[in-house]
Chains A and B, each alone.
Chain A
Amino acid sequence: QNICEVPGVKDICNWLRKAFKGRKPSVDFDNDMFSISQGLRGSSWRGKDCSDTSRNVYPGTKPLAEDRTFDSNCNGIFGVNKKTARSYEEELCGASQPRGVAVLGDSISAHFHMPPQWLDATLISEKVFEHLILVVENEIDWPMLSTVTGHGKNNWTEVITGPIDSLYLRIRDRNRCNHRDYQNIAANGEDSIGMQNLVKTLARNPQRDHPIIVLYALIGNDVCNGYPDTVAHMTTPQAMYDNTVNTLEHLHATLPNNSHVIMMGLADARILYNSMGHRIHPVATHWGHFTYGQFYDFMNCLQISPCSGWLTTNGTLRNLTAERAEELSEALRKVYRDHKKSYYNFDLHFIENPMPNAVREWVKHGGEAWQLIEPSDGFHSNQIGQALLAKVLWREFETKHPEILGPVNPNNEEIGRLFGNQGGY
């Protein structure tokens, strides 16, 4: 009865379990939480280490000895300007107020994307499985193309298409000294309960590192579960409040002074069923009649739905889920009101969930909501949606909280001229 007991499939199941279990980089010889390899919580998730044998060398740290001889913070800037005898790090970055960016989140922040080509008999081919190993080692997430930590080039266009835009890229454009200073601390299915532990994998030293902008973006799993009595298993507003305060307490102890923590409200995901319910799922493209409504019901029957409150043909249940999501957002607003003055290492902020604005903007430009949703699960935001969210969030920060972003570095051009792509990713 258990498919994982079938010869051959057993090995694959073991491999999947192992890949999905890790929360820290697997390849990390110096134990500084930054890696030189990509998958298994490596550089797809956190800036690539530039020395995996030195514990004091990693992205986001304040430069050691002004990086006169080597690059200790992996931003690609090091050496001495012979004309002035000053280090480049000091000259180009010293007054620039560098900062990193991180997200504490769920599968939306990690950017879950199962290529629909894997399920669609009309599109399946050797090419679409070419990067399967990396995809699994990244937990079927694409943090390197995500809203907060997207970076680099899309080398996987056979299975994922759309623009790359992210808060990290925009913060780096603003100040190129921030190169590689990103951390994606998100996991599929993560909620406010689990985040109290997962936050411990955020690597930041309050004395040695630069400040960081942390997005607390648990936008759904506190109302999402696969149980038939789903409402009974949702987080209560009081538990949401307590869990969030616990996570903030941990951040208070680990973030450098002048950091920012931005809590994001939960999403109202009624749009999912409304836009996807009658569309055809890729697993039956050739036969052409298996709708997302049927797909959601099948997942619910097997009790493996990522969210039976949103992904259901039952409209009353979707409304109840929306109600609880709003109550949990209100709990976050209360955390903000009660604790905005409590933490001296960081400023606390609250923002409403940006999804409705992103959808509105997309529709305004002639698009349709379903075009922003992942085809394989009918649940997550796709590459277009991820990039659009980055744009909407950035606009919100620029207009309402510009202090979060820091000043534009006037030396950006010079950095580009001297250090090119700064070592890439």
Chain B
Amino acid sequence: INGGYGCAACTALVAIVEQLAEIKNSTVVETLDYLCYILPVELRPSCRAALEFLGPMLVVLVEHKVGPDVACHALTFCYTNPGQPTCHSMIPPLHRRLKGPSMTFEEKVLEAKQRIQFRMKKTRGP
């Protein structure tokens, strides 16, 4: 329901990446690279394959500090099943939310999705 374990895993991952980038004062790319590096050697190829796919999108989302909830809804690992409430972890502190209460959660997700699409188009070219 609402993305279940996949949503929880995504939320935790984005929260860790954002905090780690802050703590280490490093870029998102460096942080993601570090996360793959610290895994046991057997898992690194899978981690790198996942980063090749997800990395560019995560970079856009984390750089814009959209927070785990918006990021994971934009990546569609979290969603809202018909008749179910929308799940919010509320992990990032209030001061981290760039847009004020004037934007709804859905609008923030839409904006994040557009950012991803823009970045993807730019990467892929015409």
| Per-position 1/0 for B1-12, Cβ under 8 A of A | 111111111111
Q: A2-B6, A121-B16, A124-B16 are in contact. List 5 more A-B contacts (CB 8 A).
A: A12-B50, A284-B91, A294-B89, A298-B11, A301-B87
Which of the 9-residue segments A45-53, A142-150, A285-293, A389-397 touches chain B?
A285-293
Given contacts A1-B77, A7-B53, A8-B47, contact A288 B40 (CB under 8 A): no
A403 CB-CB contact with B under 8 Å: no
Interface residues of B (CB under 8 A from A): 1-12, 15-16, 19-20, 22-23, 35, 37-40, 42-43, 45-54, 76-77, 79, 84-85, 87-93, 96
Task: For the complex formed, measure the closest distance between the CB of B106 and the CB atoms of chain A, giving whole angstroms.
Answer: 16
A229 CB-CB contact with B under 8 Å: no
Residues of B within 8 A of A2 (CB): 6
- Within A261-308, the residues touching B (CB, 8 Å) are 283-290, 294-295, 298-299, 301-304
| Cβ-closest 10 pairs across A and B | A8-B49, A8-B50, A3-B6, A121-B19, A301-B87, A126-B38, A286-B19, A303-B1, A8-B46, A121-B20
| 13 residue pairs bridging A and B, Cβ less than 8 Å apart | A3-B10, A6-B53, A6-B54, A8-B48, A283-B16, A284-B91, A287-B91, A287-B96, A294-B90, A298-B8, A298-B90, A302-B4, A303-B1
Residues of A within 8 A of B45 (CB): 8
Interface of chain A, helix or strand or loop or mixed? Answer: loop
- Taken together as a complex, chains A and B put the C-alpha atoms of A1 and B49 apart, in Å, by 18
Q: Are B87 and A286 in contact (CB under 8 A)?
A: no
Given contacts A132-B43, A301-B85, contact A9 B8 (CB under 8 A): no
- Taken together as a complex, chains A and B put the C-alpha atoms of A298 and B46 apart, in Å, by 28
| Number of interface residues, chain A, beta carbon within 8 A | 37
Residues of B within 8 A of A124 (CB): 16, 20, 35, 38
Q: Are A3 and B91 in contact (CB under 8 A)?
A: no
Residues of B within 8 A of A288 (CB): 93
A11 CB-CB contact with B under 8 Å: yes
- Taken together as a complex, chains A and B put the C-alpha atoms of A133 and B40 apart, in Å, by 8
A132's contact among B20, B39, B53, B85, by CB below 8 Å, is which? B39
Residues of A within 8 A of B40 (CB): 129-130, 132-133
Residues of B within 8 A of A3 (CB): 5-6, 9-10, 77
Task: For the complex formed, measure the closest distance between the CB of B52 and the CB atoms of chain A, giving whole angstroms.
Answer: 7
Given contacts A1-B77, A8-B53, A122-B23, contact A298 B87 (CB under 8 A): yes
A125 CB-CB contact with B under 8 Å: yes
Listed residue (A8, A11, A132, A298) with the most chain B CB atoms within 10 angstroms of its CB: A8
Task: For the complex formed, measure the closest distance between the CB of A19 and the CB atoms of chain B, giving whole angstroms.
Answer: 13
A199 CB-CB contact with B under 8 Å: no
Task: For the complex formed, measure the closest distance between the CB of B36 and the CB atoms of chain A, giving whole angstroms.
Answer: 10
Interface residues of A (CB under 8 A from B): 1-4, 6-9, 11-12, 119, 121-122, 124-126, 128-130, 132-133, 283-290, 294-295, 298-299, 301-304
Q: Are B16 and A119 in contact (CB under 8 A)?
A: yes
Write the chain A residue with the least CB distance to B69: A298
Residues of A within 8 A of B37 (CB): 126
Q: Are A283 and B12 in contact (CB under 8 A)?
A: yes
A287's contact among B5, B19, B84, by CB below 8 Å, is which? B19
Write the chain A residue with the least CB distance to B19: A121
- Taken together as a complex, chains A and B put the C-alpha atoms of A303 and B85 apart, in Å, by 11
Given contacts A124-B38, A299-B8, contact A6 B93 (CB under 8 A): no
Task: For the complex formed, measure the closest distance between the CB of A323 and the CB atoms of chain B, giving whole angstroms.
Answer: 26
Write the chain B residue with the least CB distance to A1: B76
- Taken together as a complex, chains A and B put the C-alpha atoms of A289 and B91 apart, in Å, by 7
Residues of A within 8 A of B11 (CB): 298
- Taken together as a complex, chains A and B put the C-alpha atoms of A303 and B84 apart, in Å, by 11
Residues of A within 8 A of B43 (CB): 12, 132-133
Task: For the complex formed, measure the closest distance between the CB of B95 and the CB atoms of chain A, giving whole angstroms.
Answer: 10
- Taken together as a complex, chains A and B put the C-alpha atoms of A122 and B12 apart, in Å, by 14
Q: Are A301 and B96 in contact (CB under 8 A)?
A: no
Task: For the complex formed, measure the closest distance between the CB of A200 and the CB atoms of chain B, giving whole angstroms.
Answer: 29
- Taken together as a complex, chains A and B put the C-alpha atoms of A12 and B50 apart, in Å, by 10
Residues of B within 8 A of A299 (CB): 8
Q: Are A283 and B15 in contact (CB under 8 A)?
A: yes
- Taken together as a complex, chains A and B put the C-alpha atoms of A409 and B47 apart, in Å, by 53
- Taken together as a complex, chains A and B put the C-alpha atoms of A311 and B103 apart, in Å, by 31
Task: For the complex formed, measure the closest distance between the CB of A210 and the CB atoms of chain B, giving whole angstroms.
Answer: 39
Listed residue (A119, A289, A298, A302) with the most chain B CB atoms within 10 angstroms of its CB: A302
Q: Are A129 and B88 in contact (CB under 8 A)?
A: no
- Taken together as a complex, chains A and B put the C-alpha atoms of A378 and B10 apart, in Å, by 20
B23's contact among A119, A121, A294, by CB below 8 Å, is which? A121
Write the chain A residue with the least CB distance to B86: A301
- Taken together as a complex, chains A and B put the C-alpha atoms of A283 and B9 apart, in Å, by 11
Q: Are A6 and B50 in contact (CB under 8 A)?
A: yes
Q: Are A133 and B42 in contact (CB under 8 A)?
A: yes
Residues of B within 8 A of A284 (CB): 15, 19, 91
Q: Are B23 and A286 in contact (CB under 8 A)?
A: yes
